[in-house]
Amino acid sequence: MDLEVEVLTGVYSEETHLPQPLRISVIADLDLPERFLPDTPLSASKSYIDLKHAATDALPKDVHFTLIEAVADHICETLFVSDSRVRRVEVRIVKLAIAEADESIGITLVRHRR
């Protein structure tokens, strides 16, 4: 999953008053059945819509995240709280406003269920 999301984030004064475009990718490791047969129901897996929700609608629009690491942590916690099968979440965030010539400047944060 690779999403572009506008988020209030940043440290410098020019970053703190308007949302910034971020490219967010989310990978979730789940406790899953040993095999998926042709008739396995969706409930046995994780809906991609849940991953998208954690990186978009679940981010509060009125909260300023000083660090993009805090954005990533919020996404991880949203997924852990929403589904007990989620064991590990990896969130990659690229700050699009500072990237030049196809650069990917950002962070990757990995969290494990405690």
Task: Write the Ramachandran bin of 10: left for phi over 0, alpha for psi from -120 to 50, otherwise beta.
Answer: left
pLDDT in tens, 91-110: 999 999 887 777 788 999 99
CATH label of the domain that carries residue 12: 3.30.1130.10
pLDDT in tens, 32-73: 888 999 999 988 888 899 999 999 999 999 999 999 999 999
Structural domain harbouring 105: 3-112
pTM beyond 0.75: the answer is yes
Count of the separate structural domains present in the chain: 1
Tokens of 7: 């988020």
